[in-house]
A and B are shown apart, each in its own frame.
Chain A
Amino acid sequence: MVSVINTVDTSHEDMIHDAQMDYYGTRLATCSSDRSVKIFDVRNGGQILIADLRGHEGPVWQVAWAHPMYGNILASCSYDRKVIIWKEENGTWEKTHEHTGHDSSVNSVCWAPHDYGLILACGSSDGAISLLTYTGEGQWEVKKINNAHTIGCNAVSWAPAVVPGSLIDQPSGQKPNYIKKFASGGCDNLIKLWKEEEDGQWKEEQKLEAHSDWVRDVAWAPSIGLPTSTIASCSQDGRVFIWTCDDTSGNTWSPKLLHKFNDVVWHVSWSITANILAVSGGDNKVTLWKESVDGQWVCISDVNKGQGSVSASITEGQQNEQ
């Protein structure tokens, strides 16, 4: 069952492009073509506007909440080529950093798992991906991957901090040796996986090819302790792929077509428990998908204006084999 528990009237004056809840699910951040970012307190079904953040000079595409261990921090990216990091100070939200290192629209921002510190990945239409690392005293170190995706990176998504397979035999008390990775998707129809080398440089580890048009979004699934890594990708070509990697080296990824839609698919989002995928399509349709026992992805719900029923029988074949 998908039932609306809160309808927030954002009073944005133009298209909304992103809406994200914070870590606890108590605050909602939205951004819009009206160049503003808004934050609402939505606890207990309420909607109190906490902040109306102005600073971007173009449509704001995405917002991303940092982990609360770093305070209340929100990043936003815009067509104005800027990334702004906002922070709540003494109850008021203010700009704490502005990153102007891109030459074109910044389309996606994503915070790294909190275990790594405060690191933000930004993907831009200039084809580059930049990584901002907070180094203290208000300083941010910038690393840039140029030409990550020719004519534009549309999405970035971090791999969870748990290294696949390490859950059980992770020596306790020892600082785990995380390998930082993230995925990106771009206008070259590719998904790329990036890995931080020991010298701190970012290197392209994998190219995942299956889409025949722009990759609109990638979403690395949260880790639920299984040794499999999973990435969802969606594209202008209407296809949504689920990529999985079982081997420990992380090099063999195989795609599985979830569905081919008739229109561009803009966004994919995993549930926290990584078992449901929300797919947002260009025809304004939101669908929820779940993997059945036999490994097929099945649509379990059509969500319209936040409402939808959930089909009880997972075997119900709404799937169109492509």
Chain B
Amino acid sequence: MKLKEIDRTAMQAWSPAQNHPIYLATGTSAQQLDATFSTSASLEIFELDLSDPSLDMKSCATFSSSHRYHKLIWGPHKMDSKGNVSGVLIAGGENGNIILYDPSKIIAGDKEVVIAQNDKHTGPVRALDVNIFQTNLVASGANESEIYIWDLNNFATPMTPGAKTQPPEDISCIAWNRQVQHILASASPSGRATVWDLRKNEPIIKVSDHSNRMHCSGLAWHPDVATQMVLASEDDRLPVIQMWDLRFASSPLRVLENHARGILAIAWSMADPELLLSCGKDAKILCSNPNTGEVLYELPTNTQWCFDIQWCPRNPAVLSAASFDGRISVYSIMGGSADGLRQKQVDKLSSSFGNLDPFGTGQPLPPLQIPQQTAQHNIVLPLKKPPKWIRRPVGASFSFGGKLVTFENVRVQAQQGAEQQQQQHHVFISQVVTEKEFLSRSDQLQQVVQSQGFVSYCQKKIDASQTEFEKNVWSFLKVNFEDDSRGKYLELLGYRKEDLGKKIALALNKVDGPDVCIKEGKQESEFLPSAGGTFNISISGDIDGLITQALLTGNFESAVDLCLHDNRMADAIILAIAGGQELLAQTQKKYFAKSQSKITRLITAVVMKNWKEIVESCDLKNWREALAAVLTYAKPDEFSALCDLLGTRLESEGDSLLQTQACLCYICAGNVEKLVACWTKAQDGSSPLSLQDLIEKVVILRKAVQLTQAMDTNTVGVLLAEKMSQYANLLAAQGSIAAALAFLPENTNQPNIVQLRDRLCRAQGQPVPGQESPKIPYERQQLPKGRPGPMAGHSQMPRVPAQQYYPHGENPPPPGFIMHGNVNPNAATAQLPTSPGHMHTQVPPYPQPQRSQNGWNDPPALNRVPKKKKMPENFMPPVPITSPIMNPLGDPQSQMLPQQPSAPVPLSSQASFPQPHLAGGQTFHGIQQPLGQPGMPPSFSKPNIEGAPGAPIGNTIQHVQSLPTEKITKKPIPDEHLILKTTFEDLIQRCLSSATDPQTKRKLDDASKRLEFLYDKLREQTLSPTIISGLHNIARSIESRNYSEGLTIHTHIVSTSNFSETSAFMPVLKVVLTQANKLGV
């Protein structure tokens, strides 16, 4: 296909391969005249811009020269690697001169473009060639057997390759060997070729077929094989190309007889040694394989003879040909359609007729060329044989499951023509694993999920945490698997019931305590007489009197108003209680409206149970307190929502620090989806390890939610699904297909997950059922016109013709849609009459087959769920702190509970709850926990959604029933093991007294509590003797303050004992030992 055209009768030279962009230099040809008979000459440089579809070549520079040229070459001498325009244009002139031009100066428009000039030759210089190994060496040939070797670095004095050949003859061609740098060949029209060895400085061989008809117009060395070269003959009687091998130089190796008339020029492709261009007086440009003689391509020319032809060194598919009709054409040998180009050519031709009257005769000259062939096919076919440069020898492609498919074709030198290729054509399938840590962590997580060792896993994570936040998150997660989760959450937030109790007691004793006692005594003595005697009902006109009157008339409302007005709050509240719930509620409201204390809003919220208010309007800096309040008071059904709400606020209103804390709220809420969202926002990056960080938390939280909450844990939110499938994708990409399957959420119909599951299952290489089974023929699976849709079934899974895929925007099929093999084969027939484009809706109604239970995401055992669901029924909401005085009111929800008396009757247990002491100045300083949770045995509080810890009545019902019996059944620790308890507790106390930072103290407090598990086991005598003796050993080492020894024993116990037996207390013991060691107590 013709790419470009220049209207010049000129010699041509492509810029060297290093050069970018590609230039073509043209120098006015010495041998021809154009229609103007102009004798002016010029040197021009054009740029080959293939992105421009037009036939024009962009002219970059024109230099008017005083010479006309027989030969033009462009060498890469002194060219830098960046390929900036450089190198040297070397021209052979008419008068024995060789001129060196600087092409960059020509392009820049400089006037001084000649680097050097030498006219040592006699006669026109027709042959020039640059040595490709030493680009400063140029060989030239002229008349009288003259051959000179020029050093461009020292241009003045050329060398000769040896003595001149005799008889003297014109040198028409000269060429450096392509493999051996000191070998040069020259040829002359007489048909003789001479090979020179520059080291010996003499001709080493002469090649001639003795026919005397060879009229050498072309000489070229084989690009790859050092000893082979071709000679072309211009003689019409012998229009051949001879291929010679110097090892058998008596006769040509091969003779190519493809031209009908003499050959004017040849060019051998450096990019593919099987491509040799030749142009001849038969007006043909042929591309042949000189190794076989086969013609691979005939360029579609409609031009005249071409006298010069050149491959483009940089773009191997491009060549240029200069023809006698005054044109240089640039062609591609890759064929292609010339539709876009032809029009232009016609235009050009017609316009050029205008200039064909150079002598002003009024009679235009007839066109020189043969009339244009009209009905020529527009399509130009490419080479018969693919050129070497498009044959991809190597490839590596990734495929699903982290597999890499590679192939390599070892290059075989085509030495001696057809060499036996003993290549093995293998394809390697490799597994690529790049994320080892990710895989091992994922592995751990899976093991934990299987072994259910969540607590110790969380503990490990806590211990390994790098940041406080990370530690918090894991602590919060861990709490989910422990008893009294809400209480522990409170502790994590910094509210320890015991601590608070102590603090309050301390405060009371120190400040108020003695006073109160005294006052009480006094009061008693003061009151006693009046209580025993009569009292005066005043009906005077003062406030007292008015109140009295109101009371006497049963007008509580007025009485309360009076009391409020007089700021007698206590009286008002007490009266309001007598006046009924409505009045009490009103009174409370009025009271709160009047009261301005800092903690009023908290009290308000506690009394009115308006947690939403707190959560919605507290200062975000107080989020811990707000969360604490929610943890303490909120009912299970609103607990999650409140935590959520708080989290949402933190996320949307808080600064970046608070935003991350929202994660903690979501953990409390058990809201996996929001945790994912929040985490994703806070921790950027989708690197495998950061995803692993997230997934660990999510997996643990989901487990926790499954264990503790009645909510449907199997629904997977969009974002979580995305993350999970991303995670599974990562696992799959590392080749862990089975693990990826295990982590994919089970009960979801989200398309990406359903598709990934199918892909994973099949990637595992499940056997394909018999191929003969019925399947859907291709033709029947018609795609509706223009609408994408499923087309055909898998023959691989004939029994399961339904596809898992459906275009986006369609209703996804039910989850039971995926088939896993063992489905009813008959279903396939039901599938057959599919309407176009709706195939995916034809879901066979068979149930989802039981899958192998490798998915830890399987819903929890059914029996567990109903049990949990009952929880709310037994649950009593927290009681407002009006309770010490009267029954709560204004809570319709609590009244609906059967256990809750609706009438304002005092509850017996209420008396036991002390008034929460709210220290005036400190906001939200926590709420006293009345019934000591720590004493509660684990068996009792297993469901984590027990009543809120601050909800006295809520828990009373359970407590009242179960606490006494529990207390009785608790056995004493056997005497011989009592030493363990005393030693450990003593150690913790010692540590506590010397520990300074609150974090350590918290840890120790926690430890002391968790050691209760150990003591319980000791009581029940369920521990194995080895563990017991090990523990005693630890105790002894503690006695001797050799904590490191203790730790060693500890490790030994853990490694040798049953994990589940020791997991409850051993980690904690380790913490204690480590702390003791650190503190040096």
Contact = CB atoms under 8 A, between A and B. Distances in A.
Interface stretch (B347-355, B777-785, B916-924): B777-785
Interface residues of A, number: 123
B396 A58 contact: no
Nearest to B21: A212
B391 A17 contact: yes
A254 interface: no
A305 B394 contact: no
B771 A91 contact: yes
Contacts of B394: 266-267, 280-282, 284-286
B207 interface: no
A115 B807 contact: yes
Nearest to B775: A90
Contacts of B791: 69-71, 118, 134
B430 interface: yes
A290 interface: yes
Interface string A99-123: 0000111010000001111100000
Contacts of B410: 284
B337 A266 contact: no
Nearest to A226: B686
B414 interface: no
Interface in A8-27: 8-26
Interface stretch (B401-409, B642-650, B989-997): B401-409
A7 B398 CA distance: 15
B932 interface: no
Contacts of A79: 382, 386, 390
A8 B429 contact: yes
A288 B722 CA distance: 27
B796 interface: yes
B392 interface: yes
A25 B428 contact: no
A55 to B, nearest CB: 17
A203 interface: no
With a 10 A CB-CB cut-off, give which of A19, A73, A285 has the most chain B CB atoms: A19
Contacts of A89: 777-778, 795
A145 B381 CA distance: 19
B733 A303 contact: no
B718 A16 contact: no
Contacts of B811: 173
B76 to A, nearest CB: 15
B529 interface: no
B340 A146 contact: yes
B336 interface: yes
A151 B50 contact: yes
A295 interface: no
Q: Which residue of A70, A72, A79, A286 has the most chain B CB atoms within 10 A of its CB atom?
A: A70
Contact of B429 (A5, A15, A24, A187): A5
A214 B315 contact: yes
A44 B765 CA distance: 6
Contact of B398 (A125, A151, A272): A272
A51 to B, nearest CB: 12
The listed residue with most A CB atoms (<10 A of its CB), out of B339, B392, B409, B789, is B392
A152 B686 CA distance: 38
Contacts of A103: 335-337, 379-382
Contact of B805 (A61, A114, A176, A278): A114
A147 interface: yes
Contacts of B1: 126, 151
A146 B339 contact: yes
Interface string B684-706: 00100000000000000000000
B306 interface: no
B404 A278 contact: yes
A251 interface: no
A125 to B, nearest CB: 4
B564 interface: no
B731 to A, nearest CB: 10
B724 interface: no
B332 interface: yes
A107 B729 CA distance: 31
Nearest to A285: B394
The size bracket of the interface on B is: 35 or more
A225 B726 contact: yes
A147 B732 contact: no
B794 interface: yes
A190 B53 CA distance: 14
Contacts of B433: 1-3, 310
A88 interface: yes
Nearest to B810: A175
Interface in B544-561: none
A176 B807 CA distance: 10
Contacts of B686: 224-226
B762 A24 contact: yes
Contacts of A175: 807-809
Interface stretch (B366-374, B419-427, B463-471, B1024-1032): B419-427
A307 interface: yes
B391 A15 contact: yes
A12 B762 CA distance: 28
A290 B796 CA distance: 35
B390 A125 contact: yes
Interface in B781-836: 781-796, 803-805, 807-809, 811, 836
A188 B403 contact: no
B605 interface: no
Given A16-B409, A270-B398, A187 B317 contact: yes
B794 A71 contact: yes
Nearest to A152: B334
A278 B405 CA distance: 10
Given A138-B779, A173-B809, A214-B315, A303 B396 contact: yes
A58 B386 contact: yes
A199 interface: no
B393 A266 contact: yes
Nearest to A150: B50
Contact of B409 (A15, A25, A30): A15
A43 interface: yes
Given A24-B759, A115-B788, A151 B332 contact: yes
A232 B391 CA distance: 21
Interface in B717-776: 718, 722, 726, 729-730, 732-733, 759, 762-763, 765, 771-772, 775
A248 to B, nearest CB: 19
A16 B408 CA distance: 8
A87 interface: yes
Nearest to B339: A146
B431 interface: yes
A44 B336 CA distance: 45
Contacts of B396: 267, 269, 278-280, 286, 303
A273 B334 contact: no
Given A26-B763, A103-B335, A117-B787, A20 B428 contact: no
B786 A135 contact: yes
Contacts of A150: 3, 50-51, 53
A126 B335 contact: yes
A240 interface: no
Interface in A246-295: 266-267, 269-273, 275-276, 278-282, 284-286, 288, 290
Given A2-B431, A7-B428, A28-B429, 18 more contacts: A7-B429, A15-B409, A18-B392, A20-B397, A21-B403, A22-B399, A24-B763, A25-B763, A28-B427, A33-B391, A124-B336, A151-B317, A212-B20, A212-B83, A272-B733, A273-B733, A276-B398, A278-B397
Would you list the 4 A-B pairs with minimal beta carbon distance, nearest first?
A306-B428, A117-B788, A71-B792, A175-B809
30 contacts: A7-B428, A18-B395, A21-B397, A21-B403, A28-B427, A30-B427, A72-B796, A79-B390, A89-B795, A90-B771, A90-B775, A103-B335, A103-B381, A104-B335, A125-B334, A125-B390, A126-B1, A136-B783, A152-B332, A176-B809, A187-B317, A213-B314, A224-B726, A267-B392, A267-B395, A278-B396, A280-B396, A284-B409, A303-B404, A306-B430
